[in-house]
Amino acid sequence: MTIFAPDDVLVLGAGAAGMMCAAQAGQAGLRVRLIDHASKIGEKIRISGGGRCNFTNTHLNGHDGAAYFVSQQPRFVRHALSRYHAGDFVQLLARHGIEWQEKHRGQLFCRHSATDIIALLQRECAQGQVQWHTGTRILSVDYRNNLYQVHTEQDCFQAAALVVATGGLAAPAIGASGFGYELAKQFGHSIITPQAALVPLRFEHWQSHGFDALAGVALPVAVRCGSGKQAMVFEEDLLFRHKGLSGPAILQISSYWQPGQTLSIDLCPQLDLAAALCRGKHGQKIRLDTALHQLAPQLPKRLIDFWLAQAPFAALAKQRWADIADHHLNALAYSLKHWQVLPSGHDGHKKAEVTRGGVNVAEIDPKTMASRLQPGLYFIGEVMDITGWLGGYNFQWAWSSAVCAARAL
């Protein structure tokens, strides 16, 4: 075993946050060592955004950001996001000549490939003379004589500061582990129970009710979870799957959903369907299914046919629209505007994009990401109880928290 002379900083986890922090600290003149158990680094960046990495979101510009994050203390993000914001990361891309494009709702993606961002972070680390140790399992971490000692299978590394950037539990096949939570607990931190988030939802009896026949159908919806001030609503696309529901609307609401809660889905959010059906019917000779197509063209034909084949609407589908009583039309509209579904669970960490919960931010300084309990210990990125919405918010949190910590080291 080689025992290395003390460095200034050891960063555990060479993902988005870890590489960013190591690069910035190295460029500020600190001796930095980056350690990861995976041999291929930045794997989540590589697979993100369908291979194009949705690296930030312009909605964070000029906004304190708290509304886009799920946490016991969402306001925790405000300082870091103001110190290093979406525009700062875009400038970094520009310095590296990386082209990007804006898509839906302020989401910025690489124009060519997510690997451009991994290469950028590697170049930034090289500029900061960061030392790398990948494919090396961490056996234990101790704190003695004001130094952290990280023991791996081959070596012992030491430093006065330790940055934990080991992420959450999502996508274990590419290196995710609960290591960061265990380490946090070792130094007295509490953990908000980690749960899969941005994850497809499942339903009991989905197939026996025939919903699997709708697999592949996608449409814009408004999905609601909770009630009163606690209610969350997302207007996004929904996708029917063989085993349940997915698509951006469901992924977003999954970060707020608690087991036992019913979701209310408006399958036709653009229209007051009851009024349109009741007021528009006079003198209409077309059938109800045709009427629905005309009134709500965003409702896919397969969904309309499926809905009208269900009791109590089965008898109505082929009737002339004008002949159908208002109370039937109102009931049909209500069923499409207030579809109540009770998820039985989700697809788990394997299919989740992120983990909600994590190291309790009440025990972390929001200006520096330093532990309030243990000297020289820092947490950055997804390992903390900070979970962004779908749309580039999670990577922006990784960049912003990493830069804040690096400036404080």
Residue with smaller CB distance to ligand FDA, 74 or 175: 175
Smallest separation, CB 400 to ligand FDA (Å): 11
Peptide bond before residue 375 is cis, with ω within 30 degrees of 0: no
Q: Which of 93, 88, 125 is nearest to 109 (CA)?
A: 93
Residue with smaller CB distance to ligand FDA, 110 or 288: 110
Residue with smaller CB distance to ligand FDA, 267 or 369: 369
Q: Which residue is nearest to ligand FDA (CB)?
A: 15
105 contacts: CB under 8 Å, gap ≥ 6:
57, 59, 391
Match 């870890």 to its residue by tokens.
18
Smallest separation, CB 166 to ligand FDA (Å): 4
Which amino acid does the sequence have at 77? V
Residue with smaller CB distance to ligand FDA, 16 or 81: 16
Q: What Rg do the C-alpha atoms of the chain give, in angstroms?
A: 25
> Would you tell me which residues interact with ligand FDA (CB under 6 A)?
12-18, 36-38, 41, 44, 47-49, 53-54, 138, 165-167, 170-171, 175-177, 179, 353-354, 381-383, 392-395, 398
Distances (CA, A) of 130 to 59, 68, 126: 32, 32, 6
Residue with smaller CB distance to ligand FDA, 16 or 276: 16
Exposed e or buried b for every residue in 366-403, given b needs 16+ CB within 10 A?
bebbbbeebebbbbbbbbbbbbbbbbbbbbbbbbbbbb
Smallest separation, CB 307 to ligand FDA (Å): 32
Distances (CA, A) of 279 to 117, 282, 299: 54, 7, 19
Residue with smaller CB distance to ligand FDA, 236 or 382: 382
What is the phi/psi pair of residue 29, to 5°? 100, 5
Smallest separation, CB 350 to ligand FDA (Å): 10
Residue with smaller CB distance to ligand FDA, 44 or 59: 44
Smallest separation, CB 42 to ligand FDA (Å): 7
Smallest separation, CB 114 to ligand FDA (Å): 8
Smallest separation, CB 107 to ligand FDA (Å): 8
Taken in order 344, 349, 355, 358, is the CA torsion positive or negative? Answer: positive
